[in-house]
Chains A and B, each alone.
Chain A
Amino acid sequence: MTATLDFQAAALGLQAQRAKVLASNIANADTPNYQARDFDFSVALAQAAQATAHSPTEPVRTHPAHLSGTGTTAPAPVLQYRQPLQPSLDGNSVDLDTERAAFAENSVRYEASLRFLNGQIKTMLTAINGQ
């Protein structure tokens, strides 16, 4: 019944992960030799959606009365290095404007995923209440 929520939940998890990567880039904007990183969101989301659809992982059951769950583990997104637009002398490849823009965009997308999720939950609650 909650399978429709899985896609938005996976997107939410990846957006939180991306926010963390971008926050690390912003935090290290002045660190010598730090290389800015990011991952391809669409590839990561496709992988996560495939993982939830096709390869459910079975939890270990030590008793016959235990339920067989269908938890899934999506592979962690592959971190890549950003191509610096304007390389700096100290070897740091963080462009603060790019990172801030990406962080703001990611935050809006995170909020959008939350709203979709909220809408789906509301729809389900309406069906449950039957009013």
Chain B
Amino acid sequence: MSLFKIFDVSSSAIAAQSQRLNVVASNLANAESIAGPDGQPYKARQVVFQTQSLGADPAAAGVKVAQVVQDDTPARRIHDPSNPMADADGMVTMPNVNPVEEMVNMISASRSYQTNVDVMNTAKSLLQKVLQLGT
């Protein structure tokens, strides 16, 4: 039954989008973390999506998170001499998290998540109608 494959496709997308949402949450939570476990300021992370073929069928293409990469944009530096992490010039290195970008990312991830749930619901209701065939 071809429609069952939709559940595999959409659930892979939902899993990938929720991982993206997870990364956004961790970026936003650490937007002000000037020192991580290694003593360095937090670096933003981004997910990289990749198409994942499901079985031999060329028509069904799922998604997976290929890797989580560290964002290499330069860190934000602010002047705050009272901070214990300040250097000789009184500058503190902040994480390179861009809250605006992260919010846009969050909205995009949540919209994609919702769309895939809708697709699954439609497939489910169609399959239920198939079960009632001939009754």
Known: A27-B10, A103-B122. A16 touches B1 (CB 8 A): yes
Of residues A29, A79, A103, which shows the largest number of chain B Cβ atoms within 10 Å of its Cβ? A29
A98 CB-CB contact with B under 8 Å:
no
Q: By the criterion CB–CB under 8 Å, are B2 and A31 in contact?
A: no
Whether the pair A100, B63 counts as a contact (CB closer than 8 A) is no
B115 and A29 within 8 A (CB): yes
- Most chain A CB within a 10 A radius of its CB, from B5, B60, B61, B112: B61
What's the Cα separation between A23 and B120 when bound, in Å? 9
**Contact yes or no, A27 B9, CB < 8 A:** yes
A103 to B115 CA separation, bound complex (whole angstroms):
11
Q: With A and B bound together, what is the CA distance between A118 and B135 in angstroms?
A: 8
Within 8 A of B (CB), among A9-25: 13, 16-17, 19-21, 23-24
Q: How large is the interface on B (under 10, 10 to 19, 20 to 34, 35 or more residues)?
A: 35 or more
Asked whether A20 and B51 contact (CB < 8 A) given A110-B126, A114-B130, the answer is no
Contacts of B47-79 to chain A: CB distance below 8 A: 48-51, 57-63
Q: Is the CB of B6 within 8 A of A23?
A: yes
B3, B50, B62, B116 pick with most chain A CB within 10 angstroms: B3
- The smallest beta-carbon distance between B106 and chain A, in angstroms, is 13
| Bound: A23/B9 CA distance, A | 7
Cβ contacts A101-128/B at 8 Å (1 or 0 each)? 0011001001100100110011001000
Q: How many residues of A contact B (CB 8 A)?
A: 31
CB-contact partner of B63 in A21, A27, A114, A121, under 8 A: A27
Q: What is the CB-to-nearest-CB distance from A96 to chain B, in angstroms, rounded to a whole number?
A: 7
Let me know if A26 is at the binding interface, CB within 8 A. yes
Q: Is the CB of A28 within 8 A of B122?
A: no
**A20/B60 in contact, CB under 8 A:** yes
Q: Given A17-B2, A19-B3, A34-B51, is A24 in contact with B62 using a C-beta cutoff of 8 Å?
A: yes
A75 to B51, CA, bound (A): 25
> In the bound complex, how far is the Cα of B5 from the Cα of A106, in angstroms?
16
B 23-64 binary contact with A (CB < 8 Å = 1; else 0): 000000000000000000000000011110000011111110
Chain A interfacial positions (CB closer than 8 Å to B)? 13, 16-17, 19-21, 23-24, 26-32, 34, 37, 79, 96, 100, 103-104, 107, 110-111, 114, 117-118, 121-122, 125
